[in-house]
Amino acid sequence: MVNLDNVTLQARINSERLIAIIRSNTVEGAVLTADTLFKAGIRALEVTLTLKEAAQAIRQIVSFAPTDAIVGAGTVLTRSQVDYSIDAGAQFIVTPSMGESVSYALQEDIGVIAGAYTPTEIYSALANGAAAVKLFPASSVGPQFVKAICEPFPHARIVPVGGVSLENISEYFDAGAFAVGVGGPLVGDAVTPSGDHEALSQRARLFLKGSQR
């Protein structure tokens, strides 16, 4: 897989509309979860660097990912973590804030979904060329914030993360969300040794249906 530039990443996220976020404590848990998500039809996913061996997990996932899938690294905070992620095979990065990883990725034309929270941060990320803006934690502001932001910034590419569920996913899209990122409410216990992957597959299909608006 080849890493994506911001223009290409923007187009892919606009097409997929749903990014699955895998936050695991083990490589095996991350890999098995990714396999289930791909088989359920999800084509955009992020492996967070909170996993100590994230590079190993990303390499394995990339090795069997469908040709139309995109695989990114999340919770990327530093310049060195950007390089680490790309060396592992990640095609794009996702950050939790507007830190050095964002400016470095933009400089290197590596696709980035930049973490932002305030109107100023959102404007800065978009003005500098980020593919999209990760609104985190979205649960603390809700769909109405997305709607309010899209009024002065009608072309804002907001990706709410943190608190998006099957119950409110439609509200975020109705408010103008560009896409959504979903971790726990989608992945559930699948990353654990006894995780229920059949339930994960069912949730994945429901989230996909909810994102196709």
C-beta atoms surrounding 202 within 10 Å: 12
DSSP per residue over 182-201, as a string?
Answer: ESHHHHTTTTSTT--HHHHH
**Distance, CA of 11 to CA of 155 (rounded, Å):** 14
Let me know if 52 is exposed, middle or buried by CB neighbors in 10 A (0-12, 13-18, 19+): exposed
CA 34 to mean position of chain CA atoms:
13
Query: Any idea how long the chain is?
Result: 213
**Distance, CA of 112 to CA of 96 (rounded, Å):** 11
**Distance, CA of 93 to CA of 75 (rounded, Å):** 8
- For the question of residue 46 being annotated catalytic, the response is yes
Catalytic one of 16, 39, 46, 53: 46
Catalytic one of 100, 108, 134, 171: 134
For tokens 């990706």, name the residue.
159
> Which are the catalytic amino acids?
46, 134
